[in-house]
Amino acid sequence: MPAPTGARLGESAVSFEDSDVVRSAVRLEGFRDEEFNYQLIRALGVADYGGSTAGECLAVVAEIADGSPSSWHRGFDRLAQRVEAEGRACLDAGRRVSGRDHLLRASTYYRTAEYYGGDTRGGDAGARSQACFLEAAALLDPPVERLDVAFGGGTLPGYLVRPAGPSVPRPTLVCVGGFDSSAEELYFQLGAPGAERGWNVYVFDGPGQLGCMRTSPGLTFRPDYEVPLAAVLDTVTALPDVDAERLALAGLSFGSYFATRSAATDLRVGALVANPPVVDMGRYMEAWVGTEVYRMTRDIRPEDVAGVPEDLMPRQMQWGIEAICTRFGVPSFHAWRDAMEAYRLADLLPAVSCPALALVGEREGDEPRAQFDAFVSGVTGPVASRVFRPADGASTHCQSDNLRLSAQVTFDWLEDELGAPPGPASDG
């Protein structure tokens, strides 16, 4: 397109201030609050596989007060409701694909709203996220199947994502999320890209994750996560189209700690992806919240901070204390900090003898990089690693800013270790 009159290509500075043409009314501005900024990137990232659009995410930014969790929740909840309503109107009109696509995005926006606004004791954003996804999943081609796992008197909700093509035994990846992940989000991160490449992918919500605790509130996080994961692997490997000899685990964020414990103790795990490796959850959390907060002498319970004015305690800290106590099943901040002592791989790390892939973003910080290095040097099986650089457009936590590159690295490595799926050759 030609430049407005007076502008010459090749000049070092060109001003279009007098132009009557507005190419975009969107301004690419995020948040000053670092966690808000990351959560925005996280919501934007799943656009790679139909989980959001850049325009919808950026539009809602204007509705959110920087650093206000309640404002965040309201903004994304309103967006989710609008997109869901559009999807239902499309379905009512018989427009299956349009309706499905809207519901997939609504699922992401409800999950994003839930991050700062819904837990197992209040709010229904997470339940709406699951409901929208489940309805959309049935409209995918092939459909994504709901597959729950019975465990501990409750249920671990999950989905089996299958590729198009004949129902034959295939290599299968089981995905383990972290502190605030959801099975629905894992679909966009690893389920959809895996199925494109001919893999079965199972995504689920385990103990401590909101998708699980919504219906099984007694199933909280536990350090011996290999126990619920054994139940998951029992269910998955019993399926006729799963090649039990080519079974891999991928752990994202804290899920890498959970997945690594399983790889160290369960011989059925043929390959492990740790993204990024977490070998000591307590040390990781101390680095995240800061030593001054982590080591504070005053103990705090969720009921102590409810309704405290924001000038005395930031809303994010109030939210965080309630979240960790609820999901780890402890009564107070000090009890949670004490519980963290058990969330260490320690002597289990050398027991990982299957092939392992370690991934980390260059800008994730010193502690994640130190745990990445400890993992790479500590496992005894063959290990590959990748540090994503800013120039890759993938240097954030779990490569939320470039899921396609992350998927390429992950599945190419898995095929090298476990073999390509049956059918046409994969190009990664």
Q: Which residues are known catalytic residues?
A: 253
Residue 183 CB burial class (10 angstroms; 0-12, 13-18, ≥19): buried
Q: What is d(CA 67, CA 246) in angstroms, rounded to the nearest whole number? A: 45
Residue whose structure tokens are 């004949």: 166
Q: Compute how many other C-beta atoms are within 10 angstroms of the C-beta atom of residue 49.
A: 20
Quick one: tokens of 378?
Answer: 């500590």
The DSSP code sequence of 346-409 is GGGGGG--S-EEEEEETTS-HHHHHHHHHHHHH--S-EEEEEE-GGGT--SGGGTT-HHHHHHH
Among candidates 172, 176, 187, which has minimal Cα distance to 242? 172
Question: Is 370 in contact with 337 (CB distance < 8 Å)?
Answer: no
Among candidates 372, 214, 204, which has minimal Cα distance to 280? 372
Name beta bridge partners: 175: 203, 250
Angle at 375 between CA 346 and CA 386, to 5 degrees: 165
End-to-end CA distance of the chain: 35
Residue whose structure tokens are 């900090």: 337
Amino acid at 179: F
Q: Compute how many other C-beta atoms are within 10 angstroms of the C-beta atom of residue 9.
A: 7
Angle at 174 between CA 192 and CA 385, to 5 degrees: 85
Q: What is d(CA 213, CA 118) in angstroms, rounded to the nearest whole number? A: 12
Q: What is d(CA 61, CA 176) in angstroms, rounded to the nearest whole number? A: 29
